[in-house]
Amino acid sequence: MIPRDNGKGLITRTVKRYTLASGHSVSKDLVTVEEPLEIKVKNKSMQTFLIAYIMRTPGMDDYHAVGFLYSEGIIQSKSDILGFEGVDSNGVSASNSLTVLVPDRLPVDLSTIQRKFFVNSSCGICGKANINDIFLRTSGMQRSECTVQAETILLLPAIMRSRQNIFSVTGGIHAAALFTLQGKLIAVAEDIGRHNAVDKIVGYMLMNGLVNHDFVLQVSGRAGFEIIQKAAFAGIPIISSISAPSSLAIETCEALGLTLACFVREDRFSVYSHGQRII
């Protein structure tokens, strides 16, 4: 089931417009919402730990928190999620504060990783200590030799775009989407931060038992290292981007056996690593 659209990512503002032809005028405009989300975890012993403040667009906040915690290695499976506090039936936190309920035993000691760091909507996790973490955490993963038709890759941006409800009226938001190898849309997420959109997709995957399956991740922005990192942790073998890759993203995909296709347009794209999966 494709995740729900909560309609809370938009706000109306009064703007003053100017054109050479007609001069000044006043009208209403729809703007993408950017608000902080406080992510906390609480164990069964009722100990609460503040993990992060993330600037994001409201929507799929429950999946966002799960994807973030999973990407950070704080949780490892759906069984580590016992429930949520502070979200409505659509998974949105009206108070901008969300608590994930977890068991007492987790892969990490929460008292040592409580970080209160600030994650903004453009750069992701600023000051990440050690990029070698991605190689350590994914070293045991077996990468699939699945294949996808080149023509299918070309179709993905347009399919994703057709489900970008906020982008259609503001033009100012990123998206990530999960597809089958046959081009069927599984999930789509929008957010002011491209890495947040991917976290929402990863959280959806974890909560629905889809991690480490053969999918294609389509993203609307450039393919930077952090996007690749999140896809790798989720076991996604193929990443497609409408924009450019970074050198570290390419090197990471080469080392981890991931396929990276970029500059995906209506009739062309470039493959930067493990092109054997695209036929």
- Half-sphere CA count of 3, side-chain side, radius 13 A: 30
- Residue 140 to residues 26, 40, 135, 136, 249: CA-CA distances in angstroms? 59, 29, 9, 8, 20
Q: Where are the beta strands (DSSP E) in 127-249?
A: 174-179, 185-191, 216-219, 238-241
Catalytically annotated residue among 123, 126, 146, 262: 123
Instruction: Say if residues 160 and 185 touch (Cβ distance below 8 Å).
Output: yes
In Å, the largest CA–CA distance within the chain is: 66
Instruction: Say if residues 60 and 203 touch (Cβ distance below 8 Å).
Output: yes
The string of DSSP codes covering 187-203 is: EEEEESSHHHHHHHHHH
Catalytic residue check, 126: no
Catalytic residues: 123
